[in-house]
Amino acid sequence: MSKNKRIALIFGGFVTAVAAAFYPIFFYPLTHNSDYREVQKINRSGIKQADVQPVGVKTWSDPFKPDDKR
């Protein structure tokens, strides 16, 4: 095998490994947003956010939910 082909295979393998690592971390949650919302509804049921929030910090709100105040 020539040296250029070997370098191309090593570089291609590295790019493939990085892409394979990024898919479950970034792209899967981005494309399956509704699945994660449903899981969080179940996990957070029964928790009052104001009770677990530190004093003086604004309670969290969903940045993707449209705000009616605008």
| Residue 27 forms part of a structural domain | yes
> Looking at the 3D structure of the chain, how many domains does it have?
1
| Residue 26 forms part of a structural domain | yes
At 1-45, the pLDDT tens digits run 788 999 999 999 999 999 999 999 988 988 998 898 898 888 888
b/e string for 21-42 if b means 16 or more Cβ within 10 A? eeeeeeeeeeeeeeeeeeeeee
Range(s) of the domain holding residue 43: 22-47
* More confident: 65 or 45: 45
Residue 41: its pLDDT value, please? 86
| Residue 41 forms part of a structural domain | yes
| Residue 28 forms part of a structural domain | yes
Query: Quick one: pLDDT band at residue 46, thresholds 50, 70, 90?
Result: confident
User: Alpha helices of 1-70 — where are they, by DSSP H?
Assistant: 3-22, 28-31, 33-43, 49-52
**pTM, whole model, 2 decimals?**
0.49
